[in-house]
Structure formats: structure tokens, C-alpha cells
Chain A
Amino acid sequence: MQMKRRDFLGSAAAGTVILAAPMVRAQGKPRVVVIGGGAGGATCARYLAKDSQGALDVVLIEPAEVYHTCFFSNLYLGGFRDFDSLAHRYDRLAADYGITLVRDRAVAVDRAARQVTTAGGETLAYDRLVIAPGIDFKEGALPGWTLADAEVMPHAYKGGAQVQLLRAQIEAMPEGGTFAMIAPPNPYRCPPGPYERISMVAHLLTQVNPTAKILVFDPKENFSKQGLFEEGWETHYPGMITRIGPDMGGTALEVRPATMEVVADGVVEKVDVCNVIPPQMAGAIAQIAGVTEGDWAPVHPADMRARLDEAVFVLGDASAQGDMPKSAFSANSQAKVAAMVIRAELTGSRAFPAKYSNTCWSLIAPEDGVKVGASYEPTAEKIASVESFISQTGEDAALRRTTYEESLGWYAGITADIFG
């Protein structure tokens, strides 16, 4: 089949910026600036630097010195990991791969001039920009809660200190007290995440406070791995967990941090700990850069290129790509596709068809692991799910243990793949 020029010009639909020869920078190398050193951004930076072997100038802008993974933070809540095991530094990305680390926050993007400005006032020019800032919370979307209330009612949904705070609050609960979670509406990062967290909180409470109760206020009809979680809760934590779905008032919610109350459909519930997982949107810098439509940044399914700018790629949670869930596995998978395409564009290396996949493991109780996964392909409109699998209810303990052990291997593998 003869390839038509418009086929690959297609992604320049906006017709403004075209895949021009890379601009020559001072040191003579094309530069890729990556905003955000998380699952998407750090993977992309590492692959760009590793595979281009010095032909690209790769700059990673990230304000934090240490990245605390959200993935496996629930296992820390349950007492299965220590906090330090979730921490990853950026040192090797600089030392082993020659990535330039900029320890700062990106605050502005001038797409016409192709440059990024940091909070410290540094200006960085780019040939390609990768935006991978993860999520931010939608202010005001949950009545009664603002980000300032996170010290009282933690979200614990961005990793780090918030997760420690939540664990400390759970441990300090009065005997027989009530833990409440406000589960988020779709779409949000890690579809099974809130429910794995419920399992881990239940496990911890069974150890330290067995008469405590858990309430989950949920605006959604259903959720990922629901059958598996409900079966596990029934088996391991009978009577401890109650889910208040949309039919019972899970949609008409308000919280009152000052009095530690949750109001569902007008009914006031006094609680001891309240984990608010708020409605979410793309990290603010994606909005500032002007590559979002609504809450997320739409991208081309074949390569994660922003629909609104040829020279910009958006990875991970911040992107709207279609069927992939917002997960570290997805962000990592998308990052490798984008890195391959960017490198091809800027250095003339070979390019290959995109491959996307995702698997999410969850721990329900000690050695009771389950998983869900799917593979994805770009269609004309979106990244589409073409095949999926999920653990089955009623699996034997040996299989569940193997699945859990697999998740440990995955954590070791993906963190090495992200941070080197």
C-alpha cells in the first residue's frame, strides 16, 4: 500500500506547527524538556536518554527530590511495606543517563516560542515538550472540602506525607470508631485504588481496632474488580465495611472538616477519620500550557502527541487518550511509545508501531492478590481496549499468593524501569 503524505501529516491537523527539522541549540543537540518526574515523565526521560545515547539533550523538570509512589502506598497503609520502600530518587537518571535535572516547578509554557519557564525564573527552550504532571484535584467539586482541609481530611492520593498522615490518623482512631472514605467519581487515577485502600485499612483495623467500622461513600454505580473485592471483604472482614452507593445518597455528598462529619443525602454521619478522594483533572501545568479540553489533555492515539500542538506530548494521568485507565503501568507504557516517536523525529532513528498495555494488581488481604489487565491498540479515534482479563472469584489460595508475589516483582520491575 502506498503511503499518502496526509497520513503522517495527519497529526498536524491543526495545520500550524509542522514537523520541522529540529532547531539547532547552543550545544548543537535537539532538546526534549519533560515536565514531571513521575511514572510517565521519568520513564520517558530515561528512554529518550538511554536510547539516543547522547544525541538528545534531555531535561527533566521536577520539584521533588524524592518521588513517593502512590502505587503500593495502600500496602504501606495495611502494614505490608515500610514508607521508605516507596521512595525513589532521581540520582541515577542524572548520573547514569546524563539527564539534566531541574529541581523546580514549571509555571509557564510559551508554545509559540517553544519554551518553558520555571518558578525560579529559568527559561528552557525545547524542540519537543513532554507534559506528565499527573493529576490535580478540582477545587470546590466536593462541597465542604478544599485542599486546605487535606490536613484534617487527607486525600492521600498523591503519595508521600499525605499517606503517612492517613496512616497515623487510622492508628489514632478510638476503639470501635468509624473510618470514612469519599470515593471519587470517574475518571480518576487507579480505578481499583480506593477499594484496595479499603481492603488495606480493614486489614490494619482488624489488627489494631477490630470493632471499628468502615463507610465508603461512593458516587459510582459500580467499580473495577467489584466482585473480587466484595468477595474478599466478606471473607476477611465480615461486617466491617459498608458501601453507600448512589442509590443510598453516595452522590449528594458534603463533608464538614471542622466537625468531622459526612452528610449523605441530608443524613449527618459523625466519623473519626475521613479520607476524601476528590474529583480530579489534569495537573495544572497542562491547563496552563493550553493543551487541555475540559479536564484532560486530548492526545493522538498513535503516539500520545497533544491534539492541540504537534511539538507537545502528554503522558499518563493528565492525558485523554481513550480506553486506558489512569495508572502507573499505563503511563509507563505510553512513555515508551512517545520516547520512541520523539527520538525518531529528532534523530532519524527507526520508529515502530505503538504497543500499549496495562495490568493492575490489588491486595485484598495477606497474600490474597488479584489482577486486571488489558491490551490496547490505537484506532483512528482513540486508544482502544481490544482484549482484557481479570482474576476470578473463588480462586484458590495458592494462585492468589502467586498473584501477590507477581505484584512484588512488578513493583521492583517498574520502579527500575522508571528511575533506572
Chain B
Amino acid sequence: MGWRGFLLLAGLIFAPALPAGADAFVPPDARAETFGDADRGAGFWTQCKGCHEIGAGARIRIGPPLSGLFGRRAGAVAGFAYSKSMARMGADGLTWNWGTLDAYVENPKALVSGTRMAYRGLKDPQDRADLIAFLRSHSDRPQDIPEAAPTARRLELDLPADLLALQGDPAWGEYLAAECQTCHRRDGSDQGIPSITQWPVEDFVIAMHAYKRKLRPHPVMQMMAGRLSDEEIAALAAYFATSGE
């Protein structure tokens, strides 16, 4: 389910009791899913811990320590003797993240030909995701270091027909616009941040898609537009075309 729960909930006023022995708690509105299950992944760590340490105070053993691995350049732990191959990959820019770790854990030699890591690889994608989630839990937390690697992937939710019918809906646009108005002034003034009120619908839509496709350069706007569906952009355009107090 998604936000539709709220629509229903908003429409109905009733006071049902939670049935005894109801199914396990299912929270409403998951719009993303975590990459893997770190607890399950801890089980696979036994395959690594013969050579690697992780956690507070982890030291170099046969392999480098894996605390703080996310966002680290390959071959970057000072004092560890890397293979030439790994050192070169690091110099060329290989950085550890969900994607590169997934490839490396699946088949180390496919990513770094001359790696000294004697590991046959983990073939099952879910097993890998869980192991990497375990590794992720020993790297920076985004609430402390906002730029740290993400912990979840956005779900591609099918927009249901009833919402699609709302295309260009200014009321929806008004809700979405609240996020824009953290920076862009509601009254259309443009100190430091451009005005976006009273834009022709078409210009607005074209500009947002240009950010979404990263043709326009601004990182905040690329991120904001990148997460908007076509329908959301249409709703925003409809709202901003007429807004401006």
C-alpha cells in the first residue's frame, strides 16, 4: 500500500479496534526499502572475519579493517600492503559503495583482477545485500554525517489511477510546493535563490525535467526534481502558475 491508506483514512471516520491476534505490525507508506538485512548479514561475516576486523578499534590483520568502508577509496588504509591491482584501482577512483561492493563481493577478481583477497565470492544477490548491509552498519550514519552513503533505495511505486486522474492538480501541487518554499520565497522575491512563482506551466515542466535528467547543473535541484514523478511535476506547475501572494 502507499499513501492511499491516508486517502481512505481521511475519507472515513470510524473507530475500529485492532483485532486480537492481528498480523504483525505493517507500517503505512513505505516508499523505500533498506538495501539489505544487517542482522542476517552478520551471519555471513563469519566468512570474512578470518582476515578482517570491523567495529571500534578494528586493526589491520591479513586484510584491512572494514569499519568506515563506505565512501572510502579502494587501497586507502594507511599501513596495509595492497596488491598493485587494488592500489591502481584506488588511484583510478574506485570508491566503496553499494554498487562497487556488490560487484566485488560477488566475484572479487572480476572487479580487481590482481586482488590478494582469496574469496570465492557470494553468488546469491540477497545474501550479498545482507552482508553489505552489515558492513554498512559499521560505516558513518547519515543522521551524523548527512553526506554518508544512503541506507535505502527508493521504491518505484506505480502511481495508481485515481492519483493519475489528479494530473495538474493544484491542491496536490500546493502540498508538494511546501517543500520548494523552504528556500524559494512564497512572495516571489529572489535574493540568492530564484523566484519560481507565476511561471508558465510549460516552462516549469521543461525546467524540472531538465534538472531531473541532470541537464541543468544545480545539485540541490537535481536531487529535488529527480524524485518527482511526471504527475508531481505537473501538479507543481499547475500550482506555481497561479501562486504568488
Which residues of A approach B to under 8 Å, CB–CB?
Answer: 1, 3-13, 15, 18-21, 47, 51, 186-187, 191, 220-225, 300-303, 322-326, 329, 332-333, 336, 340-341, 344-345, 348-355, 357-360, 371-375, 377-381, 384-390, 405-410, 412-414, 416-417
Quick one: which of B180-216 are within 8 Å of A by CB?
181-187, 189-193
Residues from chain A with a CB closer than 8 A to the CB of B193 are 406, 409-410, 413
Closest 4 CB pairs of A and B: A409-B192, A409-B193, A384-B152, A351-B6
Q: Are A351 and B7 in contact (CB under 8 A)?
A: yes
Q: Are B144 and A10 in contact (CB under 8 A)?
A: no
Residue of A nearest to B219 (CB): A389
Q: Are A388 and B192 in contact (CB under 8 A)?
A: no
Given A372-B147, A385-B150, answer yes or no on A19-B31 (Cβ-Cβ < 8 Å). no
Residues from chain A with a CB closer than 8 A to the CB of B152 are 323, 377, 379, 384-386
Residue of A nearest to B9 (CB): A8
B165 on the interface (CB 8 Å rule)? no
Q: Majority SS of interface residues in chain B?
A: loop
**14 A/B residue pairs, CB under 8 Å, sorted by A:** A6-B22, A6-B23, A350-B7, A352-B175, A373-B146, A374-B146, A385-B152, A386-B150, A386-B227, A408-B191, A409-B193, A410-B182, A412-B191, A416-B187
User: Which of B11-19, B81-89, B106-114 is the interface stretch?
Assistant: B11-19
Residues from chain B with a CB closer than 8 A to the CB of A417 are 178, 181-182, 186
Q: Are B27 and A354 in contact (CB under 8 A)?
A: no
Residues from chain A with a CB closer than 8 A to the CB of B226 are 375, 387
Q: Are B146 and A18 in contact (CB under 8 A)?
A: no
Q: Are B17 and A18 in contact (CB under 8 A)?
A: yes
Q: Are B185 and A390 in contact (CB under 8 A)?
A: no
Interface residue from B5, B31, B144, B185 paired with A7 (Cβ < 8 Å): B5
Docked Cα-Cα span, A324 to B116, in Å, equals 38
Residues from chain A with a CB closer than 8 A to the CB of B141 are 186, 323
Given A3-B8, A355-B176, A408-B191, answer yes or no on A325-B29 (Cβ-Cβ < 8 Å). no
B154 on the interface (CB 8 Å rule)? yes
Distance to closest chain A CB from B242 (angstroms): 16
Docked Cα-Cα span, A303 to B22, in Å, equals 22
Distance to closest chain A CB from B231 (angstroms): 11
Distance to closest chain A CB from B156 (angstroms): 12
Residue of B nearest to A344 (CB): B10
B26 on the interface (CB 8 Å rule)? yes
Residues from chain B with a CB closer than 8 A to the CB of A378 are 27, 29-32
Docked Cα-Cα span, A417 to B11, in Å, equals 28
Contact with A along B216-244 (1 / 0, CB 8 A): 00011011101100000000000000000
Residues from chain B with a CB closer than 8 A to the CB of A223 are 144-145
Distance to closest chain A CB from B138 (angstroms): 12
Given A378-B31, A417-B186, answer yes or no on A324-B7 (Cβ-Cβ < 8 Å). no
Docked Cα-Cα span, A14 to B206, in Å, equals 47
Residue of A nearest to B29 (CB): A302
Interface residue from A9, A47, A359, A414 paired with B18 (Cβ < 8 Å): A9
Distance to closest chain A CB from B152 (angstroms): 3
Residues from chain B with a CB closer than 8 A to the CB of A15 are 17-18
Q: Are B176 and A9 in contact (CB under 8 A)?
A: no
Docked Cα-Cα span, A408 to B193, in Å, equals 8
Interface residue from B15, B176, B220 paired with A19 (Cβ < 8 Å): B15
Q: Are B26 and A345 in contact (CB under 8 A)?
A: no
Contact with A along B151-185 (1 / 0, CB 8 A): 11111000000000000000110111011011111
B1 on the interface (CB 8 Å rule)? yes
Interface residue from A18, A225, A375 paired with B147 (Cβ < 8 Å): A225
Residue of B nearest to A323 (CB): B142
Q: Are B146 and A224 in contact (CB under 8 A)?
A: yes
Q: Are A336 and B3 in contact (CB under 8 A)?
A: no
Q: Are A385 and B151 in contact (CB under 8 A)?
A: yes
Distance to closest chain A CB from B95 (angstroms): 13
Given A351-B3, A413-B182, answer yes or no on A325-B143 (Cβ-Cβ < 8 Å). yes
Of A21, A300, A414, A417, most B-chain CB atoms within 10 Å: A417
Residues from chain A with a CB closer than 8 A to the CB of B23 are 6
Residues from chain B with a CB closer than 8 A to the CB of A324 are 142-143
Docked Cα-Cα span, A332 to B146, in Å, equals 17
Q: Are B172 and A387 in contact (CB under 8 A)?
A: no
Residue of B nearest to A7 (CB): B1
